[in-house]
């Protein structure tokens, strides 16, 4: 049964239980499972949150273009008023001499508003373009996470269907061996069989029952994997559509789009904007500023009182222009670094494109080959079942020995396992073809 354990299990962290799951068994078809995982899978939710973060960052970037207004209050008390030197000639004294004087008062209070407004900032403009492209990138990441989640759910669902069908086959085998053991006991009483024949049939039955018990454990483990992918509580009973059918023939088309390629192309666009942002650092930045202040003075310590209870207004408006002159060649080196990074990504893009082409060819070949193999496995199962039924009747009539019937029963089990494994391999190969062509999500 190792072939049923080859499942790519992604370790996810359960976050919340948005669906109102109950303790009644939840019957979920494959289409329903896909619909659930497209919205409730933790990885998909994480990508959706990344998108919301990107939207919030755009609003954050746009706020830099709005006026920035601040209110301020400044209180200052000088225990000793600063002394300044004044030319003596100011007061009729001799030229070239200075006199010390204390100008001002001990206490001053300033209350005012200050506003700043961006007039021209090319770095902020490019930043908005980068933020908009970031939204598109997060959309693609959501899509990529959805594709991964759908692939894993389909993988688990197909394998679980095969386990249920395998358990059904084993139950039928147990029933057949039970009847054969009863026949052997009857023939023994009639002197046409030996006790060892009965024991060997009972041993074969016990071996099948052990396989069935192991299969039940594997079913529970795979059900838990599916619940994890669907963000279901582990205690929630689960029922699935156990009918495992042969899919309609699926072929690749020339018209396909891979999310990974789209994301790489967007990454290159983003890096171009990063270069544009670096170049914007060579351009000037212009800000407008304005302020309105009120001053109050007092010669003694009285924080809430001004001389003559009077405040003196002062206001100004102006422009600030910042023109980069020399940054030690930092921006030039940043552009060189970005060019090298883009060359690296373009090389990776070429490799990815070749890898996707190879994946498409290999997946289609694997799918076609599995279809051919399955036809033989289907015929083998039919022959094994027919042979077992024929030998079973012959044994009941006492025409053959126990060895023939046990050998036929083992061959039937092997044919059943190979048939189911072949059917699952076709389903998984179809899944790989859809993944290769970017058609996992219609």
Q: Using alpha carbons only, how large is the chain's radius of gyration in Å?
A: 40
The 3-state secondary structure of 172-200 reads: HHHHHHHHHHHHHHHHHHCCCCCHHHHHH
pLDDT for 251: 64
- pLDDT for res 152: 96
CA distances from 19 to 16, 116, 220 (A): 9, 49, 22
Answer for the pair 160, 324: CB distance below 8 angstroms, yes or no. no
Residue 19: pLDDT band (50, 70, 90) is very low
Q: What is the reported pLDDT for 14? A: 32
In the prediction, which pLDDT does 15 show? Answer: 33
Q: What is the spatial distance between Cα 417 and Cα 3, in angstroms, rounded to a whole number?
A: 10
Task: Please write the tens of the pLDDT for every residue from 37-54.
Answer: 998 888 888 989 998 998
Q: Are strands 98-102 and 83-87 parallel, antiparallel or unpaired?
A: antiparallel
Instruction: Specify the pLDDT at position 28.
Output: 94
Round to whole Å and give the CA distance between 416 and 173.
Answer: 10
Confidence of residue 102 (pLDDT cuts 50, 70, 90): confident
pLDDT tens, residue by residue, 217-272: 999 999 999 999 999 999 999 999 998 888 777 666 666 689 999 999 999 999 99
Q: With the CA atoms of 233, 235, 236 and 241 taken in that order, what torsion angle do they form, in degrees rounded to the nearest 10?
A: 100
Average pLDDT for residues 299-327, to the nearest whole number?
Answer: 90
pLDDT of residue 304: 83
Give the list of residues 6+ apart from residue 249 with CB closer than 8 angstroms, or none: 371
**Residues 194, 201: Cα–Cα separation, whole Å:** 11
**What kind of architecture, by CATH, is found in domain 2-66+130-282+327-436?**
Up-down Bundle (1.20)
Q: Is the pLDDT of residue 306 over 90?
A: no
Q: In 230-329, which ranges are continuous DSSP H helix?
A: 259-280
Percentage with pLDDT > 90 across the chain: 64
- pLDDT at residue 96 above 90? no
Between 138 and 23, the higher pLDDT residue: 138
pLDDT at 20 over 50: no
* Number of C-beta neighbours around residue 259 at 10 A: 20
| Helix and strand numbers, DSSP H then E, in the chain | 7, 8
pLDDT tens digit sequence for 152-201 = 999 999 999 999 999 999 999 999 889 888 888 888 888 777 888 889 98
Confidence tier at 16 by pLDDT (50, 70, 90): very low
Per the rule left: phi > 0, alpha: psi between -120 and 50, beta: everything else, 295 is beta
User: What would the pLDDT profile of 372-404 be if each residue is shown by its tens digit?
Assistant: 999 999 999 999 999 999 998 898 887 888 889
Which of 127-136, 253-262, 347-356, 409-418 has the weakest average pLDDT? 253-262
Q: Is the pLDDT of residue 25 over 70?
A: yes
pLDDT over 60 at 7, yes or no? no
Residue 343, pLDDT score: 98
Which residue reads 């619909």 in tokens? 35
Average pLDDT in the 409-425 region? 94
Q: How many other CB atoms are found less than 10 A from the CB of residue 177? A: 24
The residue ranges of every structural domain in the chain are 2-66+130-282+327-436
DSSP label at residue 191:
T
In angstroms, what CA-CA distances link 84 with 81, 170, 297, 419? 10, 106, 19, 103
pLDDT at 194: 84
Higher pLDDT, 408 or 244: 408
10 pLDDT above the threshold of 70: no
Determine which of 24-38, 278-292, 319-333, 335-349 has the lowest per-residue pLDDT on average: 24-38
pTM over 0.85: no
Shortest CA distance to 205 belongs to which of 232, 229, 178? 178
Q: What is the pLDDT of residue 84?
A: 84
For position 253, what pLDDT does the model report? 63
Q: What local confidence, expressed as pLDDT, does residue 12 receive?
A: 31
Question: CA-CA distance, 225 to 10, in Å (whole number)?
Answer: 9
């Amino acid at each position: 049964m190792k072939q049923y354990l080859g499942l790519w299990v992604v370790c996810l962290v359960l976050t919340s239980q948005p669906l109102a799951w109950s303790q009644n068994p939840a019957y979920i078809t494959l289409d329903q499972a896909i619909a659930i995982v497209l919205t409730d899978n933790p990885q998909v939710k994480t990508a959706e949150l990344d998108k919301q973060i990107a939207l919030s960052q755009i609003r954050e970037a746009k706020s830099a273009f709005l006026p920035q207004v601040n209110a301020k209050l400044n209180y200052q008390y000088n225990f000793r008023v600063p002394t300044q030197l004044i030319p003596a000639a100011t007061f009729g004294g001799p030229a070239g001499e200075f006199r010390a004087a204390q100008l001002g008062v001990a206490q001053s209070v300033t209350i005012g508003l200050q506003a700043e407004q961006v007039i021209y900032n090319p770095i902020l403009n490019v930043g908005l373009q980068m933020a908009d492209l970031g939204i598109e990138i997060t959309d693609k990441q959501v899509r990529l996470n959805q594709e991964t989640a759908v692939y894993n759910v389909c993988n688990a669902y197909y394998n679980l269907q095969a386990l249920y069908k395998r358990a059904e086959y084993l139950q039928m085998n147990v029933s057949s061996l039970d009847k054969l053991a009863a026949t052997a006991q009857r023939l023994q009483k009639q002197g046409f069989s030996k006790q060892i024949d009965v024991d060997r049939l009972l041993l074969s039955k016990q071996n099948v029952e052990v396989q069935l018990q192991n299969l039940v454990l594997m079913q529970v483990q795979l059900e838990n994997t599916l619940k994890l992918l669907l963000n279901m509580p582990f205690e929630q009973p689960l029922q699935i559509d156990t009918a495992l059918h042969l899919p309609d023939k699926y072929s690749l088309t020339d018209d396909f789009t891979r999310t990974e390629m789209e994301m790489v192309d967007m990454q290159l666009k983003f890096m171009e904007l990063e270069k544009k942002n670096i170049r914007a650092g060579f351009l000037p930045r212009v800000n407008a500023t304005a302020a309105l202040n009120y001053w109050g003075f007092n010669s003694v310590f009285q924080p809430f009182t001004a001389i003559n209870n009077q405040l003196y207004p002062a206001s100004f408006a102006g422009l600030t222009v910042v023109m980069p002159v020399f940054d030690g060649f930092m921006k030039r080196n940043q552009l060189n670094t970005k060019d090298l990074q883009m060359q690296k990504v373009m090389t990776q893009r070429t490799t990815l494109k070749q890898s996707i082409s190879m994946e498409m060819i290999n997946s289609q070949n694997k799918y076609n080959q599995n279809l051919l193999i399955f036809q033989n496995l289907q015929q083998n199962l039919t022959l094994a079942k027919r042979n077992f039924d024929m030998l079973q009747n012959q044994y009941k009539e006492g025409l053959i020995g126990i060895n023939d019937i046990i050998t036929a029963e083992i061959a039937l089990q092997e044919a059943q396992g190979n048939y189911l494994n072949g059917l699952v391999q076709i389903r998984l190969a179809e899944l790989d073809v859809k993944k290769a062509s970017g058609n996992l999500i219609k």
